Amino acid sequence: MPTRISDLPEYTTITASAFMPIVDVNELVASKNKKIRIDDLRKYFFTGTTTSSSFTEHTPGFYYFGDNSDGALNLTGSLTNIRTFVSQSFRSTQDGVPVVKNFSSLFISRSVVVSPTNRCRGMLIFVDGDATISGSLRMTGRGAKFTGSDASFTTINPPYLGDYWSTQLFPSSSYLSRVFAVGAAGAPASYIAPSGIGVAGSTGILGRSGGGGAGGSLNASGTTGAGSAGTSFSGGSGGGGTVAPVAGGNSIPFGGAGGSAPAPTPARGGGAGNPAGLGGTDTVGEGTGGLLILIVRGNLKIGPNGSIAANGVSGNTGASAGGGGSGGGILYVYYGGTLTNNGTVTSNGGSGGAGPATGGAGGAGTAIISKLNTAFPVAN
């Protein structure tokens, strides 16, 4: 005779490997009784998915520290081989969806740079164990040309990273993981006589990217090219440099192109953006700071030469007036164990393009590194 449910021993430790019985009223009598894993049941409630085929793999982002689907990543050995691997594993589509990786552990050796192949709407890396970064993890110059969104990633569940995880995972109610659709303001078009450094973009705080800087001005009768505001996926773009009698162009919003003068010449540097504004003696201003989130369950070590960065980019140099720099992006680094930080964690704005009238720097974005609350009632 089967054991009655009331006679079963008390189950006090719930794990993802546990099973529970269910009754499927839509099936025939012979197959009504089924069972489902606890973790799949949780996914059903949070995603609203009704087909069991969706449970064959964990949904990226639902598990606080990832699903380990990408295994252990140890980037050591031949730099040529590592660069080939990174270009394949971190491949991204221009202005496309975020790069999401789920590692059981992470080691990036010195001189190795890990960054998406193209600018995109962010890079989110889960590490279920320890992470050591002796090289560089970057979204510098990889911000996307795309309309901002309040912490919403259509490919990640839960979709609202800040609203959901801040109450579950992070140590306070300050919503440190918030990512705002609109970042800090770009520097306005302003009159600077007879010449001067362009105005810097505004600084982003607590989930905002930095604004783009204005172009420098060598013009007693005109205005500088304005920088634009940042977004959730990009620091603001920089304005173009101004030289009499032609004013520098304003940058394009939503991580768009840097400002260009109507008639680009080496005298007027283009602003940093996607792409860089036309003009100047160089073309260094390609890109804006992007969105980078690293969540490590275990210990995090950043070596003396290690860096985690979502910086903006410098504006083009102008023979007379430089272009504005682009704003820094949004960077969150969380760890559950211990932190050893001998390196840098930054989301700085790009410098203004050089010239007798230097361009304005991009504003710094958000850069937060904080310890996690890892005490969960349910494993992982």
What is the predicted pLDDT for the residue at 60?
38
Q: State the CB neighbour count (10 A cutoff) for residue 267.
A: 21
Across 62-73, average pLDDT: 76
Bridge-based pairing state of the strands 330-335 and 366-371: parallel
Which has the minimum average pLDDT: 66-70, 197-201, 211-215, 242-246? 66-70
Which has the minimum average pLDDT: 89-98, 156-165, 220-229, 285-294? 156-165
Say if CB 346 and CB 327 are below 8 A apart. no
Which has the minimum average pLDDT: 86-90, 192-196, 260-264? 192-196
Cα separation, 273 vs 166, in Å, equals 32
What is the predicted pLDDT for the residue at 56?
39
Which has the minimum average pLDDT: 175-189, 244-258, 283-297, 365-379? 365-379
Distances (CA, A) of 110 to 74, 128, 306, 343: 12, 22, 7, 12
Q: How confident is the model at residue 68 (pLDDT cuts 50, 70, 90)?
A: confident
Question: Among candidates 123, 353, 367, 127, which has minimal Cα distance to 227?
Answer: 353
User: Dihedral (C-alpha) 98, 101, 106, 107: value to the nearest 10 degrees?
Assistant: -50
Across 312-320, average pLDDT: 97
Question: Among candidates 359, 187, 348, which has minimal Cα distance to 279?
Answer: 359
Distances (CA, A) of 250 to 158, 269, 329: 37, 12, 20
Q: How far is CA 347 from the centre of its chain?
A: 10
The DSSP-derived string for 18-41 is: -EEEEE-TTS-GGG-EEEEEHHHH
Question: Among candidates 199, 223, 197, which has minimal Cα distance to 322?
Answer: 197
Residues 87-122: tens digit of each pLDDT: 999 999 999 989 989 899 999 999 999 999 999 999
* pLDDT > 70 fraction of the chain, expressed in percent and rounded: 73
Average pLDDT across the chain, whole number: 83
What is the predicted pLDDT for the residue at 14?
60
Q: Which residue has the higher pLDDT, 336 or 300?
A: 300
Across 16-32, average pLDDT: 66
Question: Among candidates 313, 304, 300, which has minimal Cα distance to 365?
Answer: 313
Say if CB 311 and CB 346 are below 8 A apart. yes
Residues 339-379: tens digit of each pLDDT: 999 999 999 999 999 999 999 999 999 999 988 765 443 33
Question: Among candidates 250, 235, 101, 130, which has minimal Cα distance to 190?
Answer: 250
Report whether pLDDT(329) > 50. Answer: yes
Across 200-216, average pLDDT: 95
